[in-house]
Chain A
């Protein structure tokens, strides 16, 4: 009889375990199918550079970071100081993808918060964002020398993510 009583308790403990794991997971961070796939090609106008365009193939042979942001995006402000500090270290090129934004707003935003980007490509209608599986700005991609996406950060890049994940990966890819 006592052993039968243990069964619901055991089931409850298992359930508790599942719930505990579930609580610590972010339901918004969905594994991207683009990891280890070539970065989708595009050709977009550059922000503040009349007539100049940018595409991922311009970065061939370099490890680089593509950061999707927008002036209307609130959490982009959270990660911005981290990106500005990162750009000062001149580790790898940081390219911005200004997602569904107005160029004037974007320029004003960069003027007031600082511009960490070497180049900013303007994705006005969000088509390139769809190709990159963007669903919550900011998102950040680490792309290797062969143009393959090696890492995707959904949500703001924190100092912790940068130090513990992105920088070690960049070091590994650069050697």
Chain B
């Protein structure tokens, strides 16, 4: 038990030491925080499935440096976003604005959803409209025979 406590203490201590080392090197934590908030909304163009905040590509580092400079220069988030969109297009934004070229992107899922609902309604209506055709004499006799057969088997078991 004592050993366990000691180990826990050591682990906690190691954690705090590591946390101290891993702190970002930025001089200004406020700038850094805003930079991260902005760059999480942006796609890294080199490795397209990574955000600008998480990418280690050299271009991403340069762009983060550029964003930091703009933040220090007192630019607003929108101005910074516009700066990047003007150079790299709407593609850099994870949430592109709604306009002509992105209409399908935003509207597509809803069109598909409506199509699915329409298809389902049509199918259900069709199914409800189906009336059960009454059995004819031959079918009725067959049902009776099958039921009797099943009964017999149940009894014998």
Contact = CB atoms under 8 A, between A and B. Distances in A.
Interface of A: 4, 7, 27-28, 30-34, 100, 125-127, 129-136
Contacts of B119: 7
Contacts of B63: 130
Contact of B89 (A7, A31, A100): A31
A100 B87 contact: no
Contacts of A4: 123
Given A130-B63, A135-B46, A136-B46, A30 B91 contact: yes
Given A4-B123, A30-B45, A135-B46, A130 B91 contact: no
B59 interface: yes
B85 interface: yes
Nearest to B86: A33
Contacts, number: 42
B149 interface: no
B18 to A, nearest CB: 33
B85 A33 contact: yes
Contact of A126 (B48, B62, B85): B62
Contacts of B79: none
A134 B86 CA distance: 12
A135 B45 contact: yes
B62 to A, nearest CB: 5
A34 to B, nearest CB: 7
A46 to B, nearest CB: 22
B107 to A, nearest CB: 16
Nearest to B63: A130
Contacts of A34: 86-87
Given A4-B123, A7-B119, A133 B88 contact: yes
Nearest to A132: B87
Interface string B100-114: 000000000000000
A33 B123 contact: no
Task: Kindly list the 8 A-B residue pairs having the minimum CB-CB distance in the complex, ordered from nearest.
Answer: A135-B45, A133-B87, A33-B89, A30-B91, A133-B88, A126-B62, A135-B59, A30-B89
A4 B63 CA distance: 52
B48 A27 contact: yes
Given A30-B89, A134-B59, A136-B45, 17 more contacts: A7-B119, A30-B88, A31-B89, A31-B91, A33-B86, A33-B88, A33-B90, A34-B87, A126-B59, A130-B62, A130-B63, A130-B87, A132-B87, A133-B87, A135-B59, A135-B88, A136-B46
A66 to B, nearest CB: 15
Contacts of B62: 125-126, 129-130
B45 A130 contact: no
A27 B123 CA distance: 39
Nearest to A37: B86
Most buried by B among A34, A127, A130: A130
